[in-house]
Every structure is written in C-alpha cells, then in structure tokens.
Structure 1
Amino acid sequence: MTEAAASAAPDIHGGTMRFPAAKALRLDSGARLAPLEIAYNTYGRLNADRSNAVLVCHALTGDQHLASVHPTTGKPGWWSRMVGPGKPLDPERHFIICSNVIGGCMGSTGPASIDPKTGQPYGLSFPVITIADMVRAQAMLVEALGVETLFAVIGGSMGGMQVLQWAADYPEKLFSAICIAGAPRHSAQNIAFHEVGRQAIMADPDWRGGGYERAGVRPEKGLAVARMAAHITYLSEAALQRKFGRELQRDGLSWGFDADFQVESYLRHQGASFVDRFDANSYLYITRAMDYFDLAAKHGGALTEAFAKARRVRFCVLSFSSDWLYPTAESREVVRALNAAGCRASFAEIESDKGHDAFLLDEPQLDATLRGFLGAQAQARGLA
C-alpha cells in the first residue's frame, strides 16, 4: 500500500489479501501453502511515516473481527471494548491491523479452503501449522500493507504466544510488544485439555475422518463438547461460583440428565453457539499449533536466547492472578528471560477473579495499564 493509498483509505477496512504461488508460505513442517489468502480488518489510518501501526493477534477462537460486527453472529467484535476513540487502541491515533490466522475459518487459508490440486476442501490434507507459521503469514501481510516497523504487536492467550514469536523471529520489525496472559510453551495440562477436545470432535460420527464438508454434514456435537471443556479452563472457580453457584434452572430437580444446574445450561449454550461460527477441523489444527509451541526449543532450550536479538524492543508482560490456564509463573519466566537477554521489560500481575478470560472482559486495571504503556511508547517514538 502506498502512502497516498493509505491516506485515502477508509477508517475501517476489511478484506482478503491473496498471495500468488510465487509467494508461497513455507511452513515449519516443510510444506508450502500456495496460493495463500489472509483475511484481515484494519481500523484507523496509516500515518505519513508509517510509524503508528499496531498488530493485534487473536486467541484460539477469535478472528479478524476485532472491533467490527461479526458477520456470522451479529455481535460486536471480540475486543470492541479496547478499540475506539479514547480507548487504549484508538483508530484516531493508531493504524490497527488484525488478521485471521492461517488454519482459521474466517477467510484465511485453512482446512475448509479449496485445495487447488483437487478442487475440494483440504480437510485433513491441510498441512499441520505452528505459531511461527501464523506469524510468518502475518509478517507477509504487514509488509504488503506498507508497514516496515510495527509500533506495537499485542495479543492475549494464543495471541500472546504470537507476540513472543514475533519478538523472537522479527525483532527488527517491532518497536514494542505486549503479551497478555501468555506463556513461552504449552504445558502438559493444556495439551491434555486440547486432546480431550480433539477426541470429542473425532469421535463424532459426522466428522467423517475430516471429510465432513464433502459429505454435507458437520460434527456439531463433538465440536460443542470440545468448546464446553475448553470454556471451563477460561474461567476461575471463583467466577463460576459467583456467576452460577449451584443455582437450578427451574424449581426442583429433573431426576434425569437435563440441564438441572444453571452452569450446565451455560456450558451447553456456549457449545451450541460456537458450532455456528467455527470449523471443527480448524479447531484441530489451531489447538495442535498451540500444543507444539515451545519458544525455547529452537534455541537449545534456552528461552533467553530466543530474545537475544530483541534488546531494542520495549516489552510489557501482563498476567491475571486467577488465571490457572496460563498462570502468572509462566509470565514471570518470560520476564526473567527478557531481563537476562538485556531487553526492556515491564511486568504486572493484575488482580482479578475472572480467570484466563479476564483479558476479554471488563477489567479497568488492564485498560489503564495498556493505556499507560502505549502512551509512554508513543512519547518515546514521537507519536504523542
């Protein structure tokens, strides 16, 4: 995108960037994806010196609809509370980019995309992907949008993993990086939860060995159970108790297996609504990418070495006190590695009883921390 094109661009833009076979995406597995499509949204305008771009990386079940109405559900974007005039990510000051990760199901190349070799959906013939592959694709998009250096890359959960991967692989393209509720690797417990979800999907008779689209069916029951199991990990026990406790759905017990308890009904609703907007095979591929994530693995097991070239990047690492999925200890490990590598790093554990999903919910301390960090970095870069 030229400077002239950027200055004339609308404040909110959505589209799909298509990369020809000559620009195939090389994956960690050795496979190549071509042609490659990346669906994305932008908010705000790229300034004259292209110094105000912010890349937001989404979590497992997120997508590019960061602050736009979701076309499938009709609901506000997943981080609308954080993006807008006067908010930490302000389109009047920032050029905000958010793309659907490869392997996703909202327009970027994934298992539901058409394989040019067969004319049919990839299904399980889609190559296994990694967090590094996702970041490699994002880097292609950012370059195509005319951005040489990102003012900031920010993300929570799987988005936080992408932030750390950006810092390891493209430190020269970053001014600052914000990792929220992330981790340098996926734990055995997290892998175990993901495996339960994958097995639920693959045990659904309608999964058809991953070829359900060709059969005209969907493994809705298996995907719903996978979502229910995962959703429990996003909340804290305190949040579940405060929200539902042991409250019943109706007067008296059913003496059967209907949803007697409000928490049961809530989880069933979460599962049922999820299948309307997400692809089962994408869930398999993206959870596998998270399981494979281990930032230190390519650096002899030394996390410090992963950040050896990121000394000029300004880091902010945030965790939540009640997050048991990605506990504070894992964020502290990242901060220690950053300090050992000589990087500039600030850290805060935010007191919250909302669990892992606190980064998506109304959490004023998170808003204030992000606003303060981004404001300080804007002054340092001459954007204030």
Structure 2
Amino acid sequence: MVEPVKDMDARFGTRRYVVLTEPLRLDSGASLSPVEIAYETYGALNADGSNAILICHALTGDQYVASTHPVTGKPGWWTRAVGPGLPIDPTRHFIICANVLGSCMGSSGPASIDPATRGEGGGEPFAMRFPVITIADMVRAQAMLLDHLGIGRLFAVIGGSMGGMQALSWPTIFPDRVESAIVIASTSRHSAQNIAFHEVGRQAIMADPRWRGGAYYADGQAPASGLAVARMAAHITYLSEEGLTEKFGRRLQARDAKTFGFDADFQVESYLRHQGISFVERFDANSYLYITRAMDYYDIAEDHGGSLAAAFTATRARFCLISFDTDWLYPTAESRLIVHALNAAGREVSFVELHSPFGHDAFLLDAPDMNRVIDGFLRAKRS
C-alpha cells in the first residue's frame, strides 16, 4: 500500500523520483537500464488498491498536472480537472502522473547521463545516443513505475492528445491492468498530415547551427531558435481558425500602422513568437525530436494485423472517448473510428463530441462539459 502523501505546494501533491534497475526492452530492440522516472502523486491509495488513476500528459506536458511547475512557476497544466471537488479528485482517488520516457523533466531522455560514459568526471548526456522510443515504450515504463508503487490494477487511465494515445494503448498492452480508459482529443494512429507537421518542426531544430547533431549540452548553447520555430508551427495546429480570429483577427500589435517590415506587426505573430520563446525555457530540443518521432510511429492496429478492433479483444476495460468539434489536429472522425472498433470488439464505450472554439487545446482550457462527462464516467458503475 502506498502511504498518504504530504503536501508539496501547500495543497495536495508531492514530487517523486525513482531509478528502476530492471532493463526496459524497447520496441526498437534496444534496452534501457536504469530507467529514471519523475512523477507526482496526489491523494492516497485505498486499502484494496482500487482507486488508482494514471494521468498521461501530452507532447510538451509533464508530471506537474496539478501542482506548481518548478521552472515556470505556473499552476499545473490540468488544474481545471484535477483537484478537490473536481472530476479527478485526490480525496477519492490516488492520482499518479509521470513524466514520459524521452522527456526532459526528470525521466530518462536524451539529456540524461548515459551510464556507458560514467566515470570520475561524472558522465555525458545521451544526446542522440538515446534509443528511439515509442508510445508503447512510454506505457511500459509507466507500468514499471506502478509495479514499484505496488499498484497492480488501475481504476482509470486518462489522457488527452499524446496522453490519449497512452491511455488507449494501456488496455491493449496490459489488458488485465485497466478498469477504464478516458481518451480525449486523440487518435489510434498518427496521420500523414501530422507526421508532416512534426517533420517541419524537427527540421527546424536540426537546421539550427546550435543543434550540432544533438551535442549541445556541454556549453549550454541549445538550438533555441529552431526549437522556438518548431513550437510556433505546432502551436498553430493546437488552435482553431475560429479561436484565432476571435482572439486576434488582423489586429495590429501595439501600433497604429503597419511597419512595412518584418517585425511582429500582427497580434497573432507576437503571440506565436512569445509561445516559441517561452517554450525553449522549459523544454529540451532533443526531447522534442524523440517524442514527436514516438508519436509518428504510433499505430495501435499495426501489431494486430492492421485490425483496430483486434487490438481491443483481450481487454475488458470500459472506454470513454471525447472529441471537440473544432479540433482539426485529431478531428472527431478519428474518435469515431476508435468507437467503431470498440463496438466491433464488443467493448463497453461511451462517446461524445463537444463544442468549443478553442480547437485541439480545448481539453486544457475551461471545459465544464468535458468535466461533467469525466465525472459521470468515473462515478458510473459498469453496465
């Protein structure tokens, strides 16, 4: 049993870090050992261990789902859904959120020290020696963390975007360890269009002279310009035309007339530049390369003869899928495809498309309808 946690930020969370010595066999055929995982927990595991919820974060997210980010000082990225009195409630649930494998907030990734280089000098970061990973590898690393915590079965696994990919993968990889899965604004495989967007971002990073084949850690001169451009391009896909028009339109930024130059004349240009600059302060460029590649390789049906329905035949988990009508990154059609496959597999599934002007990022913003759906699903009894 995991003991009740102490408050980390004068509220209800605690920060943790573990080094797991058991080798993690990766889809690439490589092995990673040791495996470092940074995570946060909220609430307490009940006596029979039946109230554990794993929250999976998106591409640029982290384990700070409901507590202050140590770098930016900002509140957790899902404080609208996680907290006392909210759908995912630490007074009812034991909540775990782990930094994914390959990321840069404490879990094993390109910036971690390569054990093969350890010596009296301390060792060198993996950089591009870090093995290429997949979404399934991230899930297996999370399973190792749960084993360490003594959690055999999850009451629920929940995630949006890339977190939804992990949440959907959990019942297919560990069919007996998941009671329910909530998949928000996600997909069962990455489309050609989304792979293309990711490649633009990766090429922006690798074209930055400071990238130097990924070996930029020693002098601290990271490829900030390339990473900022990658973030700007990706951020456009997280929004919607309706949202951009409403928020910015063609309004000028702090000026009354066009400059007839290439400064940020428009508010939307200034906004994107701010997004890029602030992102490089908290994220590692090599991690961006690795995680976007993991998302591109993601295809649940691939290991099941191309049949998405076959991927779900072994699990008895119940599913809840949520999409947003202005999300063009993972449109509703992607969720419907999953629902049809779950129906074909005879699995219990609920599905709703919600309206929001905010596009893909809607699940991170104020979404009371989404909260009601999550709360109702978590409180419902199996039919």
Normalising by the smaller structure, the TM-score range is: over 0.9
2:359 corresponds, among 355, 359, 367, to 355
Tell me, yes or no, if structure 1 residue 49 matches structure 2 residue 48: yes
Deviations 1:178-236 (A, max 9, x none): 00011000000000000000000000000011001124311000000000000000000
Secondary structure, aligned partner of 1:338: helix
- Structure 1 range deviating more: 263-272 or 211-220: 211-220
Q: Percent identity among equivalent residues?
A: 67
Tell me, yes or no, if structure 1 residue 306 matches structure 2 residue 311: yes
**Residue matched to 1:258:** 263
Distance in 1 (CA, whole Å) between partners of 2:4 and 2:290 is 37
Secondary structure, aligned partner of 1:109: coil
| TM-score normalised by the chain length of structure 1 | 0.95
**Residue matched to 1:331:** 335
Letter in 2 for 1:16: Y
Contact 2:5 2:41 in 1 (8 A): no
Aligned residues: 373
1:293 corresponds, among 291, 298, 315, to 298
Deviations 1:235-264 (A, max 9, x none): 000000000000001111111000000000
Distance in 1 (CA, whole Å) between partners of 2:187 and 2:153 is 24
**Residue matched to 1:17:** 18
Tell me, yes or no, if structure 1 residue 160 matches structure 2 residue 164: yes
User: What are the residue-to-residue correspondences of 1:163-182 with 2, within 5 Å?
Assistant: 163-182=167-186
**Residue matched to 2:120:** none
**Residue matched to 2:380:** 376
User: What are the residue-to-residue correspondences of 1:186-197 with 2, within 5 Å?
Assistant: 186-197=190-201
- Give, in angstroms, the shift of residue 40 of structure 1: 0.1
Distance in 1 (CA, whole Å) between partners of 2:311 and 2:374 is 24
Contact 1:39 1:99 in 2 (8 A): yes
Distance in 1 (CA, whole Å) between partners of 2:3 and 2:145 is 15
| TM-score normalised by the chain length of structure 2 | 0.96
**Residue matched to 1:343:** 347
Contact 2:52 2:93 in 1 (8 A): yes
Contact 1:7 1:47 in 2 (8 A): no
- Give, in angstroms, the shift of residue 9 of structure 1: 5.8
1:375–1:222 Cα change, 3 Å: same
Distance in 1 (CA, whole Å) between partners of 2:156 and 2:360 is 22
Distance in 1 (CA, whole Å) between partners of 2:220 and 2:158 is 38
1:277–1:7 Cα change, 3 Å: closer
Deviations 1:300-348 (A, max 9, x none): 10001100111x2110011000100001001000000001001000100
**Residue matched to 2:65:** 66
Tell me, yes or no, if structure 1 residue 268 matches structure 2 residue 273: yes
Letter in 2 for 1:6: E
Distance in 2 (CA, whole Å) between partners of 1:316 and 1:243 is 31
**Residue matched to 1:6:** 3
Contact 2:5 2:13 in 1 (8 A): no
Tell me, yes or no, if structure 1 residue 221 matches structure 2 residue 225: yes
Distance in 2 (CA, whole Å) between partners of 1:344 and 1:270 is 40
Distance in 2 (CA, whole Å) between partners of 1:9 and 1:309 is 38
Distance in 2 (CA, whole Å) between partners of 1:7 and 1:200 is 45
**Residue matched to 1:133:** 137
User: What are the residue-to-residue correspondences of 1:63-212 with 2, within 5 Å?
Assistant: 63-118=62-117, 119-212=123-216
Distance in 2 (CA, whole Å) between partners of 1:216 and 1:107 is 18
Distance in 2 (CA, whole Å) between partners of 1:30 and 1:13 is 34
Distance in 1 (CA, whole Å) between partners of 2:52 and 2:168 is 18
Distance in 1 (CA, whole Å) between partners of 2:350 and 2:104 is 35
Contact 2:5 2:42 in 1 (8 A): no
Letter in 2 for 1:286: I
The runs of 5 or more residues in structure 2 that have no matched partner are 118-122
1:313–1:196 Cα change, 3 Å: same
Contact 1:9 1:45 in 2 (8 A): no
Distance in 2 (CA, whole Å) between partners of 1:7 and 1:218 is 40
Distance in 2 (CA, whole Å) between partners of 1:296 and 1:223 is 31
Distance in 2 (CA, whole Å) between partners of 1:283 and 1:239 is 26
- The structure in which a higher percent of residues are helix is 1
Distance in 2 (CA, whole Å) between partners of 1:85 and 1:8 is 15
**Residue matched to 2:288:** 283
Contact 2:231 2:275 in 1 (8 A): yes
Distance in 1 (CA, whole Å) between partners of 2:347 and 2:234 is 34
Letter in 2 for 1:63: D
Secondary structure, aligned partner of 1:124: helix
Contact 2:5 2:43 in 1 (8 A): no
Deviations 1:105-158 (A, max 9, x none): 000000000001112010000000000000000001111111111000000000
Distance in 2 (CA, whole Å) between partners of 1:182 and 1:96 is 21
Contact 2:155 2:178 in 1 (8 A): yes
